[in-house]
Structure 1
Amino acid sequence: MQGRPKVAIIDPNTLATLGLKQLLQNVLPILTIDTYGSMAELEANHPDEYFHYFVAMNIVLENRAFFTARRMKTIVLTLSLDGGSQLGEFHSICINVPEQELVRSLLMLEQHAHPHGKNLPPMPKVLQQKVLSDREIEVMSLIVQGFINKEIADRLNIGLATVITHRKNIMEKLGMKSVSALTIYAVMHGYVDINKI
């Protein structure tokens, strides 16, 4: 398979699909992500070219034979953690949770399936470069672990204004607007252990 790995999201809920697409592109910027509102749309677009399918539960239930044959590539999007019992043979992610929790689930899934980038093409050079200073990396690590500015200042023995400046610089350098995006970046680049977020 040449080029970027492809992932398909199959879910009739357009808003949920767009949100998941954004999160996945933050978690794995090397992915090409296609979205489909129905199984018919997926089947019309070379479905076996995809590395993974993120699929609404009702679509998996209606097309069980297709997804069972591709069980290792299928991730079922569920609305509750206990509803997955009927689909126990599949990996699943509960999407009805706060953003931080969903980001953590996606990162756990990625690290379980592809530890140290196994089975994935290398990141583009621009994404491998070290962008942040050592101090900015320390600050970022504490931000994504949930520490507030005052706690970060105390831990690093620096002023509150300095923490705020570092925080602003980190977001600008990385082009990020949320702590969730920052969390994804920190975990994917090995700056923070996923178990500490």
Structure 2
Amino acid sequence: MPHGQMPKMTSGRPKIAIVDANTLAVLGLKNILQNVMPIMTVDTFASFEEFSGVSPDTYFHYFVSQPIVLENRSFFSGRIQKTIVLTISKDPNAQLSGFHSFCINVSEDELVRDILKIAQFGHAGGKNLPDMPQILKKKILSDREIEVLSLIVQGFINKEIATKLSISLTTVITHRKNIMEKLGMKSVSALTIYAVMHGYVDINKI
């Protein structure tokens, strides 16, 4: 397969690789990736040697720590479209030229937004990915709850949501409680993932 070319789906779920020696960072990123892109299988590797021994060209994307990319630059330069460099700084001067960089030293909400952008724009509107499982596509919320959810993830507080939708503050709080109970989610980050993946809100508005 030519370097950088996306692997074709044959059977099973598409795969993402995380290559980083930082176990805590890897586990946290894997958890968020699996929540954002539940159709993907996420494999983790502590070293380039471990990663290179498992047919790396079968992966759709690599999330790789900057030191590992630097040490194996020729390999990743040939697969630059698939490589996402994990950095601890947002300073452009500290990032590798030509590579897409992803700062992991930010809040969970910001990490989720950045990963959602990759999911939303990195695959031609999702055309290169298999369809979402039916269980994840089912409409669980009412139309009004979807309106409230959209405003929540856009950062509006309860009082602002009440004003925008011309409903009482108590009604907003009730909707918010019902949304979290129906979806089994307790954080705004989780709600954000759900809203974007179901097309209830544009990532640019978050």
User: Scaled by the length of structure 1, what TM-score is found?
Assistant: 0.93
1:184 corresponds to: 193
User: How many residues get paired?
Assistant: 197
**What is the CA RMSD across the aligned residues, in angstroms?**
1.6
**In the alignment, structure 1 residue 114 sits paired with structure 2 residue 126:** no
State the one-letter code of the partner of 1:183. T
Instruction: Please say if 1:104 is aligned against 2:98.
Output: no
Residue 63 of structure 1 corresponds to which residue in structure 2? 72
Equivalence for 1:35: 44
More helix by share: 1
Write out per-residue CA displacement over residues 86-114 of structure 1, whole angstroms, 9 at most, x where no aligned residue.
Answer: 62121111111222222221122222211
Counterpart contact for 2:66–2:86, Cα < 8 Å: yes
In 1, distance between residues paired with 2:162 and 2:46? 47
Provide closer, same or farther for how the CA distance between residues 182 and 86 of structure 1 changes in structure 2, counting only shifts above 3 A. closer
* TM-score, scaled relative to structure 2: 0.89
Equivalent pair of 1:84/1:92 in contact (CA under 8 Å): no
Would the aligned equivalents of 1:78 and 1:84 in 2 still touch at CA under 8 Å?
no
Aligned 1:1-197 pairs, distance under 5 A: 1=9, 2-82=11-91, 87-197=96-206
- AA aligned to 1:39 is F
Q: Secondary structure at the match of 1:23?
A: helix
What are the ranges of 5 or more consecutive residues in structure 1 without an aligned counterpart?
Answer: none
Residue-by-residue CA offset, 1:77-135 (whole Å, 9 max, x unaligned): 11112256662121111111222222221122222211321211111111111111101
CA distance in 2, matches of 1:86, 1:103: 20
- The one-letter amino acid of 2:184's match is G
Amino acid at match of 1:73: K
Q: In 1, distance between residues paired with 2:70 and 2:184?
A: 39
1:47-97 per-position Cα deviation (integer Å, ceiling 9, x unaligned): 222111000000101111221121111100111122566621211111112
* CA contact 1:76–1:93 (8 Å) conserved in 2: yes
User: Which structure 2 residue ranges, 5 or more long, are not aligned?
Assistant: 1-8
**1:69, 1:48 → 2: CA distance?**
11
Distance verdict in 2 for CA 1:171–1:121, change over 3 Å: same
1:175: how far off?
2.1
- Work out the percentage of aligned pairs sharing the same amino acid: 70
